[in-house]
């Protein structure tokens, strides 16, 4: 091993990168961020106001963490920035920093090369998914952090002989299960590693593995008990979301779409490098158990969602992202070895490819952070507005869905002032959650999803609600946001004309909503929801 690759300066540089990036992200979120909370963030904040052992679609960890952060920093965030959004997102910055620290640690553990570990951290900082996941407080922030450190502790347990690391691994998996059900895939991937690697097979008989498993499964108990009490709603939602509901069908273009989205997510070159590294270190060829650890904790996860895409048409782009945590370390090691064994010409070409990919990532991150400044370019890509697509920028700017919510809430607040104790209702859980956060005083807001044929949500489980407890709200006036009049007219005595609310930036239409005041609530004729 080249001792120059393990000088303390590489570790210090890595920590400097991680800490300075965290500070920059906090400053950006507090004073320079043009984004309101994403609908998911606002919804998880809604969960945090009603702490429970689980929720409609996910485990409880994200709600618990947001609640703690808002209790600790909510008042300060409101004084400094005007609302609690910074407090909601602070845990994402922490989890993102811990994720980078885990990448550095695992790379150093596997390859004994702190310089390579520093490069992995630096390249990760240029990836848009890492940037977004370190600022938006969704379930992926704690989930990926838990997955990452489960890898670190499991490696120490297997190859460094650390007995305590088995318990730490189990704890990380348990926390991951409390964040996102996908964490369960960590366990079979690890089991496959032990069963298929001759030098590790005997570890299955050691008590540490079973202690780890026992602790890990504790993380599933809260959600299991809660779902038992709520008709297994999370299981039904997950199966429907994954394409397993109703009649079994096969979507043959699903794997192709899945492959395409993964190429885009990893910016082309990144996916190609991961794919080649995975092939080069496949189990039938690779005999180093330390490298096989990375392979088994990466490739099966990505392949699982690839096979699953036959049912769901490709799924969401971020579903297999946990598999790339060990995968990027595997790819980094393969690249290092390749660079040391090829000619200068190919070394320069490979280096250029990585640098160009990182540069593209930086450009995307820049556009994400400053979408208003990037608007002229985005508008050129989006094309002209049409009657069918009046907001073409939303097709090329995914951050558009994070803007305008405060503007909408101010419009709703102005109407609230003219009514006596109105009921605020959003057609979907997304709108209801945003209004609950941004309207003055954080009022209780309801979701009308099931009443208009949309899918169920957590709002349907909280009581009282408009569907199960209609009598509680009978005779009241409602402020309906984005609700189609024709779907609910029979539920009211009288409805005022529809008002259209537009949100523009530099004259560009970013978002539109409708607001309608309805008087004399009588109750809904509930339609069958789309699905769970």
Q: What is the pLDDT of residue 121?
A: 97
Q: Ramachandran region of residue 404, left (φ > 0), alpha (ψ -120 to 50) or beta?
A: left
The answer to whether the CB of 525 falls within 8 A of the CB of 470 is no
Sequence-separated (6 or more) residues with CB below 8 Å from residue 446? 423, 424, 425, 426, 432, 459, 465, 466
pTM above 0.85, yes or no: yes
Task: Write out residues in the chain with pLDDT < 50, as ranges.
Answer: 1, 3, 247, 528-529
Q: In this predicted structure, what is the pLDDT of residue 155?
A: 97
Per-residue model confidence (pLDDT) at position 527: 56
Query: What is the distance between the alpha carbons of residues 200 and 153, in angstroms, rounded to a whole number?
Result: 16
Q: What pLDDT score does 182 carry? A: 93
Q: Chain centroid to CA 165: how far? A: 27
DSSP bridge pairs for 446: 425
Cα 500 to its chain centre, rounded Å, is 31
First to last CA, the chain: 55
Neighbours of 384 (CB within 10 A): 7
The answer to whether residues 374 and 398 touch, using CB atoms and an 8 Å cutoff, is no
Rounded CA gap, 344 and 47, in Å?
A: 56
Residue burial 286-305, b: 16+ Cβ < 10 Å; e: rest: beebebbbbbbbbbbbbebb
Cα 273 to chain center, whole Å? 24
Omega before residue 6 within 30° of 0, cis: no
Q: Are 257 and 263 in contact (CB under 8 A)?
A: no
Residue 335: name the closest of 325, 346, 321 by CA: 346
pLDDT recorded at residue 529: 47
Distance CA 242, CA 244 (A): 6
Give 385's DSSP letter: -
Q: 157 near 165, Cβ under 8 Å?
A: yes
């Amino acid at each position: 091993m080249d001792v120059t690759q393990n000088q303390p300066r590489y570790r210090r540089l890595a920590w400097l990168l991680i800490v300075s990036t965290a500070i920059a992200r906090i400053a950006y979120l507090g004073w320079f961020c043009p984004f309101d909370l994403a609908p998911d963030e606002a919804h998880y904040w809604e969960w945090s106001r009603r702490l429970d052992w689980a929720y409609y679609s996910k485990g409880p960890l994200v709600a618990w963490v947001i609640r703690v952060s808002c209790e600790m920093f909510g008042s300060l965030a409101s004084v400094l920035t005007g609302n609690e959004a910074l407090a909601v997102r602070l845990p994402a910055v922490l989890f993102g920093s811990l994720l980078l620290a885990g990448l550095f640690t695992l790379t150093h553990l596997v390859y004994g090369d702190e310089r390579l570990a520093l490069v992995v951290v630096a390249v990760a900082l240029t990836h848009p998914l890492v940037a977004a996941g370190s600022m938006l407080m969704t379930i992926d922030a704690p989930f990926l952090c838990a997955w990452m450190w489960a890898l670190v502790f499991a490696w120490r347990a297997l190859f460094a002989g650390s007995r305590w690391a088995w318990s730490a691994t189990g704890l990380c998996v348990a926390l991951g299960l409390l964040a996102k059900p996908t964490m369960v895939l960590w366990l079979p991937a690890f089991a496959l590693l032990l069963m298929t690697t001759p030098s590790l097979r005997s570890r299955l008989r050691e008590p540490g593995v079973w202690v780890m498993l026992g602790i890990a499964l504790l993380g599933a108990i809260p959600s299991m008990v809660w779902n038992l009490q709520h008709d297994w709603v999370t299981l039904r939602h997950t199966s429907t979301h994954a394409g397993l509901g109703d009649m079994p069908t096969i979507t043959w273009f699903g794997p192709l779409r899945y492959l395409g989205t993964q190429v885009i997510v990893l910016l082309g070159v990144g996916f190609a490098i991961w794919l080649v590294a995975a092939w080069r270190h496949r189990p039938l060829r690779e005999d180093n158990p330390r490298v096989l650890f990375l392979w088994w904790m990466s490739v099966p996860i990505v392949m699982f969602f690839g096979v699953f895409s036959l049912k769901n048409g490709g799924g969401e782009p971020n579903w297999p992202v946990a598999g790339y945590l060990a995968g990027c370390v595997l790819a980094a090691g393969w690249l290092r070895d390749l660079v040391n064994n090829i000619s200068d010409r190919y070394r320069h070409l490979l280096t250029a490819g990585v640098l160009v990919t990182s540069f593209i990532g930086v450009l995307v991150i820049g556009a994400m952070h400053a979408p208003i400044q990037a608007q002229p370019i985005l508008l050129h890509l989006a094309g002209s507005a049409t009657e069918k697509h009046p907001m073409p920028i939303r097709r090329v700017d995914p951050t558009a869905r994070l803007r305008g919510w405060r503007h909408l809430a101010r419009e709703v607040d102005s109407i609230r002032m003219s009514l006596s104790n109105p009921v605020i209702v959003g057609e979907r859980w997304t709108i209801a959650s945003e209004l609950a956060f941004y309207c003055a005083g954080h009022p209780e807001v309801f979701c009308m999803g099931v009443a208009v044929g949309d899918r169920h949500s957590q709002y349907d489980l909280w009581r009282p609600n408009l569907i199960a407890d209609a009598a509680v709200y009978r005779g009241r006036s409602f402020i309906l946001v984005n609700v189609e009049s024709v779907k609910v007219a029979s539920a009211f005595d009288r409805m005022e004309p529809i008002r259209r609310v537009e949100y523009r930036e530099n004259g560009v239409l970013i978002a539109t909503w409708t607001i309608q005041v309805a008087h004399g609530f009588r109750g809904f004729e509930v339609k069958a929801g789309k699905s769970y």
